[in-house]
Amino acid sequence: MMHLKRMAALGMWALLGLTVAGVSAAEKAELRGVGQFEIPGWFKNSFLDLHEDIAEAAQNGKRLMVYFGQEGCPYCAQLFNTNFSQAHIVDYTRQHFEAVALDIWGNREVTDLSGNKMPEKELAARLKVRFTPTILFFDEQGATVLRMNGYYPPHRFMAALQYVAQKREARMTFAEYLAGIAPPPAKGALHGESFFAKPTYDLSQRLSGKPVAVFFEQKDCAGCDRLHSEILRSSATRKELKRFHVIQLDRWSDTQVITPVGTRMTARQWADDLNVAYVPSAVLFDGGKEAIRIESFLKAFHVQSVLDYIVSGAYKIQPDLQRFIRERADRLREHGVVVDLWE
């Protein structure tokens, strides 16, 4: 049973390492915002054979939900301490899903859907788990119905549970489902920023070799409000964004765009084509290809780290985003910069 206590000190020393380049932990600047949480007792005591877990869930009239996390993760703490502290979310999850917890750094043996045995950390790498928490929902045949890359606040998380439990995937995308239960607003305005490029949007041009950051937002959006009032106001975030060609699109608009591959379409059509379900989302392109996207609730430090991961080119040589973030945090702390994971 994975009833592991996510204690701050132990967790983050495992995450960030006791020493780097000869600098002891005591000599580094402070690390703040470490998450503390426990895996709930109602998560399944699994033998970690995903095919068997899916079959057992189906026999019980449920679907399989697989959580990937790590010790000290503040977003995992939000999932368990905020989302799973609410009785209606817990009751709904337990009624409709079998839940299995995996550690992206773990060594327990897992059997994947092809019958291959490997450590948890290898499975996480094969599935390209870049954000924690990442949650995969599987149907009765083992197909991935929905993947949540990062933390979703309670109302969006509940919508994801309902989408999967009600087997809506056969009729609509998750983006369409969200739009149906919370239709796009008809009024309001987007938040402007001085670094957003002006129309027209022709992203087929290489734009002086800069990577491209596309912010999909919408009007009357609380998450967009937070993005602009907290994250984009940070001087550290703006410093990273100066290295990008940055545009903002209303996810539901008819604004004309030429995509990085030269296709002309509206912002809404492009968002649908990219399967943008969460607003705000930032899709980052390098060399005309999508490199990564931010499509969940993140704080400033992690947004800055994802931007740096792409613009520095580190993603080309280090496929593990979480390892990059760990090393980046260590470098900053060695230079006397206090790192707050929840700022």
Distance CA 234, CA 321 (A): 22
Report how far apart, in Å, the C-alpha atoms of 214 and of each of 201, 271, 293 are. 10, 10, 9
Peptide bond before residue 200 is cis, with ω within 30 degrees of 0:
yes
Domain covering 5-181, topology:
Glutaredoxin (3.40.30)
List, for residues 226-285, the tens digit of each pLDDT value.
Answer: 999 999 999 999 999 999 999 999 999 999 999 999 999 999 999 999 999 999 999 999
Report how far apart, in Å, the C-alpha atoms of 37 and of each of 82, 85, 97 are. 10, 11, 21
Confidence of residue 7 (pLDDT cuts 50, 70, 90): very low
List, for residues 35-84, the tens digit of each pLDDT value.
Answer: 999 999 999 999 999 999 999 999 999 999 999 999 999 999 999 999 99
Phi, psi of 237 (to 5 degrees): -65, -45
pLDDT score for 25: 55
Q: Could you tell me where the DSSP H helices lie in the chain?
A: 8-16, 50-59, 74-81, 87-96, 120-126, 154-165, 174-181, 222-226, 235-241, 267-274, 300-311, 321-334
Q: Which of 119, 126, 16, 25 is nearest to 73 (CA)?
A: 16
Confidence of residue 199 (pLDDT cuts 50, 70, 90): confident
Query: Please, what CATH class does the domain formed by 201-312 belong to?
Result: alpha beta
Average pLDDT for residues 196-211, to the nearest whole number? Answer: 84
List, for residues 88-113, the tens digit of each pLDDT value.
Answer: 999 999 999 999 999 999 999 999 99
Percent of the chain with pLDDT over 90: 84
| 340, pLDDT greater than 70 | yes
pLDDT score for 120: 98
| 13, pLDDT greater than 60 | no
pLDDT score for 266: 97
Asked whether 140 and 56 are in contact (CB, 8 A), the reply is no
Confidence of residue 188 (pLDDT cuts 50, 70, 90): confident
Residue range(s) occupied by CATH 3.40.30.10 in the chain? 5-181, 201-312
Distance CA 335, CA 342 (A): 20
Burial of residue 223, with CB atoms counted within 10 A of its CB: 0-12 exposed, 13-18 middle, 19 or more buried: middle
pLDDT score for 224: 93
| 187, pLDDT greater than 80 | no
Q: Is the pTM of this model over 0.85?
A: yes
Confidence of residue 206 (pLDDT cuts 50, 70, 90): low
List, for residues 210-234, the tens digit of each pLDDT value.
Answer: 999 999 999 888 899 999 999 999 9
List, for residues 112-137, the tens digit of each pLDDT value.
Answer: 999 999 999 999 999 999 999 999 99
What DSSP designation does 202 have? Answer: E
Q: What is the chain's percent helix, strand, coil content, to nearest 5? A: 40, 25, 40
